[in-house]
Amino acid sequence: MTSSTTAPSTTAPKFEYDILIIGSGAAGLTLALRTADFARVAVLSKGDLNQGATFYAQGGIAAVLDEADSINSHIEDTLSTGVGLCHADMVEYIVENSAKAVSWLVDQGVPFTKKSASSDAPVTANADPVFRDLSSLHLTQEGGHSHRRIIHASDATGKAVFETLQARAQAHPGIDLIEGCTAVDLVTQAQQGAPAPVCVGAYVLNQQTGAVQLIKSKFVALATGGASKAYLYTTNPDGASGDGIAMAWRAGCRVANMEFNQFHPTCLFHPHAKSFLISEALRGEGARLELPDGSRFMQNFDSREELAPRDIVARAIDHEMKRLGCDCIYLNISHKPAEFVRKHFPTIHSRCLEFGIDITTQRIPVVPAAHYTCGGIMVNQRSETDIANLYAIGETSFTGLHGANRMASNSLLECFVLAFAAAEDIQSKIGRTAQSSHIEPWDESRVTDSEDEVLVSHNWDELRRCMWDFVGIVRNNERLRRAEKRIELLQQEVQDYYIKHRVTNDMLELRNLVLVSGLIISCALQRKESRGLHFTLDYPQLDDEAQDTILEPK
């Protein structure tokens, strides 16, 4: 459960809401808070509320607040990092609204780190009273950014944002926060006057009772995060199984650019660390990447060295590890004063100490790990999907912001700005949107309890190893075709299992992840070039024309 000291988060789900939000991270909670004054809202989490990726985000939120910085500079950095695939109109829209998003978060009470009075050293701000002078916020720098523009709360920004928004949502009478419920599928329905089916709710598994119930809703928003659990090694929490992308695809939504899977360059390499991420902000403050012998290598790959975009850094590390046959490389910030390191990175310092690594005096062993899904459900600037009354926000969506490679700390910014836009759009429609009168209940009359759950765990392991080995940082057609054949067999096995047995959370996650893995491979096979996060040995060159890879359900 969350470490928040407020009242318990859970409540029993009702059967009807105005807005059903599937996902309890930054995107979902923001949408809930922006709509709860005019709507009855449910926020659904399949685990504890704090099990989403937001809670574990270390870095921060990119926004233009410094006089030396500019909107144009942030836009240019994003477009450059995205290697020609960013949608310029979406980049401009999100960046232009960055200060508005940060101002709202400050008003909510997020305890961002402030500059000290005497120096640039960070001092965590007291959220009561809330400080509103954005110029007082401490800014750091990360890969791809040409200026210091990362607002943060020490090195645990996601935790600070999540706990603040959760406390606000718990206190709001118009919001139900519901844990332990897994969305099975969206419900769409033909309605009079609508040219295509409209989303009217979702079937939801109550993990405590094992029953699947129907929740009707005028609007549904998918804020379920990405699909990095498709890979054997990932920085993501266990719930990152591509649920929203899979549900939207089955309902008839297009997806785009699923081949662009970002691998974070620096994940702690330790048998008991369970993929603890080492924030890019360390490199922003001068940490160096080193080979086992202590020599640096990033200068051989990019003039920006350690501050090159993530795709370049991850490939460089992957190259050096394969060339040397070593298990990891090292991140070294021990040349900085010990007090500086402890003050800037208290969470990382403390966590590494648990594994016997004092980062003030020792190097940190690191490896790349799957981190972020840059593609997703296609949406417009109002977060609308192809299906009426269905929205997608955050990592589960494809807005065009990230292009072929996400720039650090743009993702949380996207969550807030697009949640604001979705809330405004819903408010403009809610007065003329009626609740669906009749939807068929969930039917499990022809299924039985499974007596062989090992099939789920076996296929889960096989899927993740297959994706890591054949659809990883460096690809080729032979590997992708091999993965495609195996994923097709897994999809059939999972579907056969699904139609015969009562659903469980593990089986639903596997069903979604197998589907999304197939979409990743399909997109990768269609791209006949190397661009950003998609690097293939068969097509190492960059095409002159940048095009999105769009898949449409048959």
- pLDDT tens digits, one per residue of 412-431: 999 999 999 999 999 999 99
Dihedral, 373, 379, 382, 383 alpha carbons, nearest 10: -50
Peptide bond just before 129 cis, omega within 30 deg: yes
Distance linking the first and last C-alpha atoms of the chain: 41
The continuous run of DSSP H or E covering 468 comes out as helix 454-470
Residues 108-131: what's their mean pLDDT?
Answer: 62
Q: What is the pLDDT of residue 52?
A: 66
Q: What is the pLDDT of residue 77?
A: 95
Query: Minimal CA–CA distance to 4: which of 60, 34, 49?
Result: 49
pLDDT band at 459 (very low <50, low <70, confident <90, very high): very high
pLDDT band at 455 (very low <50, low <70, confident <90, very high): confident
Does residue 129 register a pLDDT over 50? no
- Token digits of residue 426: 């819903």
Strand 16-22 versus strand 41-44 pairing type: parallel
Residues 353-365: what's their mean pLDDT?
Answer: 97
pLDDT tens, position by position, 252-279: 999 999 999 999 899 999 988 877 889 8
Distance CA 161, CA 153 (A): 8
Residues 13-39: what's their mean pLDDT?
Answer: 94
Does residue 529 register a pLDDT over 50? yes
Question: Quick count: other Cβ atoms within 10 Å of Cβ 385?
Answer: 27
Higher pLDDT: 519 or 436? It is: 519
Residues 88-102: what's their mean pLDDT?
Answer: 96
Q: What is the pLDDT of residue 7?
A: 35
pLDDT tens, position by position, 157-212: 889 999 999 999 999 999 999 999 999 999 999 887 778 899 999 999 999 999 99
Q: What is the pLDDT of residue 120?
A: 52
Q: What is the pLDDT of residue 182?
A: 96
Question: Quick count: other Cβ atoms within 10 Å of Cβ 222?
Answer: 34
Q: What is the pLDDT of residue 143?
A: 77
> Max alpha carbon distance in the chain (Å)?
71
Does residue 53 register a pLDDT over 70? no
Please report, as a single letter, which amino acid is at residue 497.
Y
Mean pLDDT taken over the chain: 90
Query: Minimal CA–CA distance to 25: which of 243, 214, 298?
Result: 243
Q: What is the pLDDT of residue 247?
A: 98
Residues 424-449: what's their mean pLDDT?
Answer: 89
Distance CA 106, CA 296 (A): 39
pLDDT band at 535 (very low <50, low <70, confident <90, very high): very high
Distance CA 90, CA 111 (A): 28
Q: What is the DSSP string of 140-204?
A: E--TT-SS--EE-STT-HHHHHHHHHHHHHHH-TTEEEE-SEEEEEEEEE--TT-SS-EEEEEEE
pLDDT band at 5 (very low <50, low <70, confident <90, very high): very low
Of 34, 149, 288, 310, catalytic:
310
Q: What is the DSSP string of 487-548?
A: HHHHHHHHHHHHHHB---HHHHHHHHHHHHHHHHHHHHHH--S-BTTBEETT--SPPSS---
Q: What is the DSSP string of 195-242?
A: SS-EEEEEEEEETTT--EEEEEEEEEEE-----GGGSSSBSS-TT-S-
The CA angle 255-257-260, to the nearest 5 degrees, is: 135
Query: Minimal CA–CA distance to 379: which of 104, 183, 87?
Result: 87
Are residues 292 and 324 in contact, defined by beta-carbon separation less than 8 angstroms?
yes
CA distances from 186 to 28, 486, 499 (A): 17, 27, 17
pLDDT tens, position by position, 470-518: 999 999 999 999 999 999 999 999 999 999 999 999 999 999 999 999 9
Catalytic annotation present for 310: yes
For residue 183, list its beta bridge partners: 204
Q: What is the pLDDT of residue 2?
A: 33
Q: What is the pLDDT of residue 131?
A: 35
Identify the structural domains of the chain with CATH numbers, from first to last. 16-55+162-227+240-253+381-398+415-431 (3.50.50.60), 265-370 (3.90.700.10), 454-539 (1.20.58.100)
Distance CA 227, CA 395 (A): 9
pTM comes to 0.89
pLDDT band at 125 (very low <50, low <70, confident <90, very high): very low
Q: Which residues contact 457 (CB under 8 A, 6 or more apart)?
A: 506
Most confident of 53-57, 395-399, 448-452: 395-399
CA distances from 14 to 11, 44, 176, 178, 375 (A): 9, 11, 9, 10, 33
352 φ, ψ to 5°? -65, -35
- Token digits of residue 162: 């999540």
Q: What is the pLDDT of residue 74?
A: 96
Does residue 132 register a pLDDT over 60? no
Q: What is the pLDDT of residue 232?
A: 87
